[in-house]
Amino acid sequence: MEKICMPPKRIEEIRAICREHGNDAGELINILHAVQNKLGYLPREVQELIAMELGIPVSKVYGVVTFYSFFTMTPKGKYPVSVCMGTACYVRGGEKVLEEFKRQLGIDVGGTTPDGLFSLDSLRCVGACGLAPVVMVGQKVFGRLAPADVKGIIDEFVALERGA
């Protein structure tokens, strides 16, 4: 038999979420949302457990996770950076801001810094086009950015982390 290893607490957390959704395969996307909210990402073991709980093939779960860009199999940083690439942000230099984040953090889109502090993603439109180009770090919104502002934003969170 093939063994899937997980700590007991995590197994219970995931099972509880599946139960809250009635172990219903039709609720897969909602379950994945809830589990990702809790764990920050959806690693392989977690997908296998969800598949078992819902009685569906793990290929289905994996298919959904890889289809929707919201889901991730990589752990997010403590401060997830999302750079808007919507039309307004893009034409006002969002891409240059994104490039600067990549350079400063030394990671690509979808990556996480080795210290687990920052992860980088691009997204389409946060609904704040008046502030374009826009970057979100966690729930905090930064607007009208230029590449020169990037280092300051990163430093702000590094300082916050040192203070904590």
| Contact footprint for another protein (CB under 8 A) | 1-8, 11, 43-45, 47-49, 52, 56-63, 66-67, 69, 73-75, 112
Instruction: Name which of 7 and 127 has its Cβ closer to another protein.
Output: 7
Minimum CB–partner distance for residue 37 and another protein (Å): 16
Question: Where are any strands of DSSP class E within 50-106?
Answer: 79-84
> What residues have CB less than 8 Å from 3, skipping those under 6 apart?
none
How many angstroms separate the CA atoms of 100 and 150, rounded? 7
Angle at 108 between CA 14 and CA 95, to 5 degrees: 115
Query: What six digits make up the tokens of 151?
Result: 């280092």
Minimum CB–partner distance for residue 122 and another protein (Å): 15
Minimum CB–partner distance for residue 60 and another protein (Å): 6
Instruction: Name which of 97 and 119 has its Cβ closer to another protein.
Output: 119
Instruction: Name which of 41 and 90 has its Cβ closer to another protein.
Output: 41
Minimum CB–partner distance for residue 115 and another protein (Å): 13
> What residues have CB less than 8 Å from 45, skipping those under 6 apart?
4, 5, 6
